[in-house]
Amino acid sequence: MNRISRIIRLSQRSTKYHEGNKSKPLFPLIFDLIHWVILNRGHIIYFFLLGLYIKNRKVSDYLNFRSFKKSYKDFYPPGYLCLLEDKLIFEKFINNFPEYAPKNIGFVTKKHFYLLDGSPKPIEAILNYPMKCIVKNTWGFGGKDIFMLTIASDEIFINGIKSTVKDLSDKINERSLLQELVVQHDVLKKLHPASLNTSRIVTVNTGSDVHVISSLLRVGVDGNFVDNVAKGNLLVPIDIKTGKLAKRAYSDKDSLFYLSHPQTKTNFEGIDIPYYDEALKVCKKLHFQLPYFFVLGWDVAFTPTGPVVIESNNLHMVVLEQLWVGGLKNRFDGYIKEFMENKRTERRLNYA
């Protein structure tokens, strides 16, 4: 019943969001709903959110989970996936571009503390190294197992609470990266100062060019120090051409749209993201260095001196982005075709 009531609420809110558009007649609406949910394995919630009930809006124009999943292995060859999924390995890649790389201190396990030179020390030795950093599981996703660690004057604080080395050890599930806090630009700090508010920039590499297909800003709420959507935070679209925030933010947690931040009351519309053009160029430049991946999601922070690339991600679908940029399927299919043709050409040249 909770899911049904959420769908009803979302359909009502989506109608308001897509205000001024006429709905499809009943039978075409039912047919398209079946097409989206059963044939395409799309979420019924996204059917309403994307406005697929609107007259003259074609389901076939929109990317869905099934069409994306079909090509997943071509997008992400298994032999290269550790580059994206292991944050310590990604660190080795991004450090080739130090001007865009976050500063890493080392990593920690339940029993040992390692500096970047790889030399192990007992975890108790971490007290000898003053630091203020984010600790994150090297294989973690969606903001899971991330916490703030401060060590000063031989004392240890976890998320601001005085703790012990045993508390730290208990909190570590797997090998975890120690990454210095990134100081964000005042423009982003104004939205929600407790979190590092990062942009997710999605690029596709066809083998001959890299294209930016969508860009969103993730903004923390309720004092969260992470901005991941899975933690109930907000998504605000960024206009790729202007670098400005759109009018409304969206929360996947409660399916609500916001004109301003619920705590800081800052309006989203028209805010200029600092160094945004540079961030797009950086993501394209980096994706050229990873030609075996077709589509990547880059998490970019904006500091007072420029963009910093926190990590790059393999994506399991590109669906929600279409709420702001419209149906991507035809454009995406064209890029896939070009990507696959370039891969075949490369193989022929390698074996010639």
DSSP one-letter code for 152: E
Residues 125-180 pLDDT 10s: 999 999 999 999 988 776 677 899 999 988 999 999 999 999 999 999 889 999 99
Q: Considering only 33-37, 160-164, 201-205, which range has the smallest mean pLDDT?
A: 33-37
Q: Which one is predicted more confidently, 22 or 19?
A: 22
pLDDT for the residue numbered 11? 60
CA distance linking residue 16 with residue 300, whole number of Å = 31
Fold of 72-99+185-347: D-amino Acid Aminotransferase; Chain A, domain 1 (3.30.470)
Which runs of E-coded beta strand occur in 286-325? 295-303, 306-313
Alpha carbon distance 29, 24 (integer Å): 6
CA distance 52 to 57: 6
Q: 54-98, pLDDT tens digit by residue?
A: 888 999 999 988 888 888 888 999 999 999 999 889 999 999 999
Sign for the pseudo-dihedral over CA of 192, 193, 194, 198: positive
Backbone angles phi, psi at 219, to 5 degrees: -125, 130
Calculate what percentage of the chain has a pLDDT beyond 90.
63
At 71 the three-state DSSP class reads coil
Predicted structure pTM score? 0.91
Of 75, 47, 74, give the one whose Cα is nearest residue 62.
47
Percent of the chain with pLDDT over 70: 92
Is residue 131 within 8 Å of 107, Cβ to Cβ?
Answer: no
- 120 torsion bin: left (phi>0), alpha (psi -120 to 50), beta (else): beta
Lowest pLDDT segment from 13-17, 43-47, 190-194? 13-17
> Does the pLDDT value for residue 4 go beyond 60?
no
| Largest separation between any pair of C-alpha atoms in the chain | 70
Per-residue confidence (pLDDT) for residue 1, from 0 to 100: 47
Q: Please, what is the average pLDDT of the chain?
A: 89
> 2-11, 121-130, 211-220: lowest mean pLDDT where?
2-11
Contact in structure between 251 and 258 (CB atoms under 8 Å): yes
**pLDDT, tens only, 232-249:** 899 999 999 999 999 999
* 118 or 125, greater pLDDT: 125
Structure confidence at residue 200 (pLDDT): 96
CA distance 160 to 20: 48
**Contact, 205 vs 292, CB < 8 A?**
no
Q: Which two tokens stand for residue 283?
A: 């993501």
Say what the pLDDT of residue 5 is: 59
Residue 88: CB atoms within 10 A of its CB come to 17
Mean pLDDT, residues 301-319 taken together: 94
Answer whether residue 14 shows pLDDT above 50. yes
261 confidence band (pLDDT: 50, 70, 90): very high
Helix (H) or strand (E) holding 42: none
CB 243 within 8 A of CB 273: yes
Q: What is the pLDDT of residue 226?
A: 82
Tokens of 96: 């080739």
